[in-house]
Amino acid sequence: MTIKKKYHNPFPETITILTDLLKGKTKILEVGPGKRNKFSLATDSCGSETCNFSADPLPYEDKEFDFVYCRHVVEDLYNPFLLMQEMSRIGKAGYIETPSPLAEMTRGIDGNESFFSSKWRGYHHHRFFVWNHEGVLNFLTKYPIIEHVTINDPKIERILNDDPFAWNTYYLWTDKIKYKHFQHHIDASIIKGKYGDLIQKGIEQSINHSYKFFKDREELLTNES
């Protein structure tokens, strides 16, 4: 089995959810906008050419923004924790999206067919697995050993092919971002095999949350109509 279609862009359903949440908000910051897929509701933006997210504070006042949007950024950074502290400082609420642990463990999802078809797991330039569990954004460092972790490859490919929403981690926060950094030797020893176990746990928790994220929102919108 191979990946039939790649979902690298924002989902229209996610934009619909955020558009509904942001009614009445006047100051919205996008952190890390790329050249494509900029967040259309953002009133301001802060990119890597302005600020080194891993080392520098964001150039804004405390709680200056009603909402902070950050999509596919934190998993790239060598120190994402400073940025999350800074977003908590300058924002009253916000949204973080990253690729899911499921996507980061699947072969052949990076790039496009006209350029290359990757055989490694996940996105080659990402530094962390990131997933939402019970309102906490969990981080686990991606080590090269993931290429040798035993996992049911056909099964995880099937899930990504059948459910596009399983490609991402979705995290809405108010006032402060709650996060946990799982670390080698302390939380997930590679030598003792616990690292692979934690990846599998992260995949399961991430899938459960992605279903809940869209299901809960659909029910809320239905009840409001």
CATH number at residue 120: 3.40.50
Segment 80-89 shows an average pLDDT of: 98
* 207 membership: H or E segment, kind and range: helix 194-224
Residue 5 within any structural domain of the chain: no
Segment 132-142 shows an average pLDDT of: 96
- Pinpoint the alpha helices (H) of 26-173: 80-90, 101-104, 153-162
Residue 19 within any structural domain of the chain: yes
What pLDDT does 212 receive? 87
Amino acid identity of residue 35, one-letter, is: K
* Separation of alpha carbons 179 and 140, rounded Å: 11
- Judged against a pLDDT cut of 90, whether residue 36 lies above it is answered with no
What pLDDT does 215 receive? 79
Which tokens hold the place of 183? 């670390």
Residue 2 within any structural domain of the chain: no
Question: pLDDT confidence of 186, banded at 50, 70, 90?
Answer: confident
Residue 108 within any structural domain of the chain: yes
* Separation of alpha carbons 104 and 222, rounded Å: 33
- Judged against a pLDDT cut of 90, whether residue 12 lies above it is answered with yes
Q: Tens digits of per-residue pLDDT, 96-132? A: 999 999 999 999 888 765 455 568 899 999 999 999 9
Segment 201-222 shows an average pLDDT of: 80
For residue 25, the enclosing domain spans 12-224
Residue 54 within any structural domain of the chain: yes
Among the ranges given (25-29, 175-179, 184-188, 202-206), the one the predictor scored with the smallest mean pLDDT? 184-188
Mean pLDDT, rounded, of the chain: 90
What pLDDT does 225 receive? 45
User: Please, what is the end-to-end C-alpha distance for the chain in angstroms?
Assistant: 41
Residues 6+ apart with CB under 8 A from 77: 53, 54, 83, 127
Residue 44 within any structural domain of the chain: yes
- Judged against a pLDDT cut of 50, whether residue 64 lies above it is answered with yes
β-bridge partners, 140:
129, 182
What pLDDT does 219 receive? 57
- Pinpoint the alpha helices (H) of 40-163: 80-90, 101-104, 153-162
Residue 7 within any structural domain of the chain: no
Residue 6 within any structural domain of the chain: no
Looking at the structure of the chain, the number of domains it has is: 1
Q: How open is the CA angle 189-192-194, to the nearest 5 degrees?
A: 55
> 116 near 60, Cβ under 8 Å?
no
